[in-house]
């Protein structure tokens, strides 16, 4: 069945280091992927997205990499800051017409000063 | 400010007492959706709507109803709440442009059903 999972449930990094959060998906029909950040007491906040016709997309301090061969998605955060501490979710759209997103379980990123 | 607004943010109630959680967006989005978030289960879709008067079931619709009479509002109705509906609920919305667009989320409603 469809699944979106994360390799690491928790990640702890030092301030200023780069962070990499990974995600595996199983539905080869998925054509759109999103990374969300969720801080305590708030809703998921959009970070960056990527469509299946791309393998890399960059934003401000963030980069998403998509490897369709192994069905793997990653989020790279450059120069991680304490404000980056949050739970990060990947989500996929399976290509259907209902715009449905399937979410991973989340990775808790902790940035140590 | 573009936003998705949910009310109430917190509610403690008892089994069987009907309740409604409101959701409103000011971005003129066609698509709206409700999710529940539970520890270890992540975000699961309850219902969604692709336009006014168009709603459909998500993955976990049992025990919930929705309506979409206006584009901006998408209330979630629990006719007879039960303890297993204790959860954190999120409303989300997005444009529908023919290609996928990110969904924007409200800040959540924490429901406790005793």
User: DSSP 3-state helix, strand, coil percentages of chain A (rounded to 5)?
Assistant: 5, 55, 45
How close is the nearest chain A Cα to the Cα of B83, in Å?
A: 22
Q: Do B90 and A106 touch (CB under 8 A)?
A: no
Give the N- to C-terminal CA distance of chain A in Å, as an integer: 41
Residue B48 contacts A where some CB pair is shorter than 8 Å: yes
Whether B17 and B81 have beta carbons less than 8 Å apart is answered as yes
Mean pLDDT (chain A) is 88
Q: Phi-psi category of B30—alpha, beta or left, where left has phi over 0 and alpha has psi -120 to 50?
A: alpha
- Does A23 have pLDDT greater than 70? yes
Which residue from B105, B93, B79, B83 is spatially nearest to B38, judged by alpha carbons? B83
Structure confidence by residue, pLDDT tens digits, B45-72 = 999 999 999 999 999 999 999 999 999 9
pLDDT at A8 over 60: no
Proportion of chain A above pLDDT 90, given as a percent: 71
Q: What is the pLDDT of residues A26-77, one digit of tens each?
A: 788 888 999 999 998 899 999 999 999 999 999 999 999 999 999 999 999 9
> Helix (H, G, I), strand (E, B), or coil: what is residue B83?
helix
Q: pLDDT value at position A100?
A: 78
Residues from chain B that touch A101, judged by Cβ atoms under 8 A, are 45, 103
Q: Does B98 touch chain A (CB under 8 A)?
A: no
């Amino acid at each position: 069945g469809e699944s979106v999972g994360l390799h690491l449930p928790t990640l702890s990094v030092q301030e200023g280091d780069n962070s990499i959060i990974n995600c595996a998906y199983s539905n080869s029909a998925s054509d759109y992927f999103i990374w969300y950040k969720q801080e305590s007491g708030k809703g998921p906040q959009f970070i960056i997205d990527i469509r299946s016709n791309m393998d890399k997309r960059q934003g401000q301090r963030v980069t998403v990499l998509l490897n369709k061969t192994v069905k793997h998605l990653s989020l790279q955060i450059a120069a991680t800051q304490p404000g980056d501490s949050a739970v990060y979710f990947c989500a996929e759209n399976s290509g259907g017409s209902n715009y449905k997103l399937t979410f991973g379980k989340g990775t808790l990123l902790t940035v140590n000063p | 400010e573009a936003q998705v607004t949910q009310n109430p943010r917190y509610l403690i109630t008892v089994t069987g007492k009907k309740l409604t959680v409101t959701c409103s967006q000011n971005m003129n989005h066609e698509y709206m959706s409700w999710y529940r978030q539970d520890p270890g289960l992540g975000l699961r879709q309850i219902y969604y709507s692709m336009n006014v008067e168009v709603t459909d079931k998500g993955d976990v619709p049992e025990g919930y109803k929705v309506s979409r009479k206006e584009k901006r509002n998408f209330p979630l109705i629990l006719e007879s709440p039960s303890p297993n509906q204790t959860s954190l609920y999120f409303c989300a919305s997005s444009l529908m442009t023919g290609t996928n667009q990110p969904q924007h989320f409200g800040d959540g409603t924490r429901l406790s059903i005793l």
